[in-house]
Amino acid sequence: MTKQHEPIVIHISNPPSENLLDLLRSLLVKRFVISCGKTITHPERVQYLVSGRPHSDEISGCPNLKAVIIPFAGIPSSTQALMKTYPHIAVHNLHHNAVPVAENTLALLLAACKHIIPPHNALRNNDWRPRYSPNPAMLLQGKTALLLGYGEIGSRLAKMLYALDMNI
């Protein structure tokens, strides 16, 4: 087999459910091979490791490792420190959840500022009294939001808050 046709082996340390794993395998071209589990059975074949907190023995045991893929937002400090000792191996941090997290954050901010939950819960219990009470809702226009972090999630949230005419 020529190098161009050799399989590309991806090892997932903490694999998803069998259903999701089957779906992932069905979406990949045949050249990609996925192995899973805490133990890497053929470490010499692994080129990509999907693990948020890889161990030194995983990295050093895979001589053909090209990249470590962190499957969540942020890189743990222990992983940062470990990967500094392997500068020839790329580290990729996925941000597939940035949009839903930013949207959920905005939804929670609106729910809190507009006091949506207490009247909703009262109405579900057939209590209509909040309807006749003053609404303590806060206007967000012109208010200042403090974002701790301006990565994938924070920058997306900032765009949403700018649309509400807020200061960041």
Q: What is the pLDDT of residues 79-107, one digit of tens each?
A: 999 999 999 999 998 888 899 999 999 99
Domain boundaries, the chain: 3-93, 98-163
Find the distance separating the first CA and the last CA of the chain, reported in whole Å: 56
CATH topology of domain 3-93: Rossmann fold (3.40.50)
Confidence of residue 30 (pLDDT cuts 50, 70, 90): confident
122-143: pLDDT as tens digits: 999 999 988 888 888 999 999 9
Of residues 99, 91, 93, the one with CA closest to residue 74 = 93
